[in-house]
A and B are shown apart, each in its own frame.
Chain A
Amino acid sequence: MRVRRAHGVWHEPAMPATWKEWFKETAKEKQAVLWSIDADGTLVGFALAHLWSMGNGFDINQLVIDPDRWRLGFGFDAALALHRFVFDYLDLRVMTADVRADNAAAKRIADRLGYTEFAHGHEVHYRDGAYVDELKLRMDKETWLERWSSEREYPPLAADATR
């Protein structure tokens, strides 16, 4: 799987051994959750998020799709599955994500899911010789229930299911 701009500057060579070490260290973090994104049995990306220390919120740190698989909808589908896990399984109250202002694909996914901007940081990221702004976004559980309550993995239990 290829990745592009999936990480900030590293102090080690950007090679498979470095990635392996990074995955290994990330997996040790108690508050971190790391997923591979699979489509029809093929690895197409990965996602990383951190649970808040008191466990009522989740920050998405990375959601990366192989550039060869861009524009096939995998980013949105993976994000929707991840949010279903967060709201329907973990019962958390809020998700947050920081998005570079020039990342049109990420903004589209966030808009469609129901994220709203709560802060706009100016000249936060630096690359290609220039600074780029950062949008700080949030999505509350109420929004998830309004927009995506039909996305449950299983239908609600029947009224007599536990009789």
Chain B
Amino acid sequence: MFGPRVDGRNGVSLVPSTLEHFKLHLPWMLQPEVGRFWGPRFGEMTTERQEERFKKTGEDQTQFMWTISYHDEPVGFTGIFDIDWVRRDGESGIFIGRHDLFGRGIASEAVRLRTRFAWQELRLHRVHNWIAHANRGSRRANEKSGYTQMGLFERSYFRSGEWYDEWLGEAFPHTFPEEG
């Protein structure tokens, strides 16, 4: 499923993804700055594959996917995936495709909107994620919305001649910061 429009601060919104947004995924993910902390990168990088992914994502009842919009321009994606509706638990993820906009707080605001939606609209009990331990920006963005570390998976994947660890986080409604 695609999530509804959720407006946030400083020009950041979560909006339902369109096929045109999905097509932006390919050029974004092929930029070295964007995939800096990803594990092995392989797969079918074709428009047809993106069309198929778009259709499957829309039909999938266990995920909520958004395009991140910054001043009404698509700049990345975020979502909650593999939702178990009995446990009320899901795995979250985010990526900013426009590396020229890194450092502006877009990810932090997108994570805040996504996490608030999980508690206030989906009534989830828990959200968890895996983040490259070296990706301090992403970890910090998630921690600001109440994610805390539940573990560390050492030597998770090999990249550019060295091992990368992964940080495992979890968040609950009671860890979400009070909003002023």
Contact = CB atoms under 8 A, between A and B. Distances in A.
B128 A121 contact: yes
B126 interface: yes
A125 B153 contact: no
Interface string B77-111: 00000001011110000000000000000000000
A122 to B, nearest CB: 6
Nearest to A53: B40
A136 B151 contact: yes
A76 B87 CA distance: 29
B125 to A, nearest CB: 7
A111 interface: no
Interface in A13-54: 53-54
A91 interface: no
A54 to B, nearest CB: 5
Contacts of A121: 128, 150-151, 168, 170
B154 interface: yes
A131 B154 contact: no
A119 B151 contact: yes
Contacts of B154: 118
A124 B126 contact: yes
B153 A118 contact: yes
B86 A8 contact: yes
A118 B86 contact: no
Q: Which 5 A-B pairs have the closest CB atoms?
A: A119-B151, A119-B168, A126-B87, A54-B40, A119-B150
Interface of A: 8-9, 53-54, 94, 117-126, 131, 136, 138
Given A118-B168, A123-B125, A123-B126, 5 more contacts: A54-B157, A119-B153, A121-B168, A126-B88, A136-B151
23 contacts: A8-B86, A53-B40, A54-B40, A54-B157, A94-B155, A117-B151, A118-B153, A119-B151, A119-B152, A119-B153, A121-B128, A121-B151, A122-B170, A122-B172, A123-B125, A123-B172, A124-B87, A124-B89, A125-B87, A126-B87, A126-B125, A136-B168, A138-B153
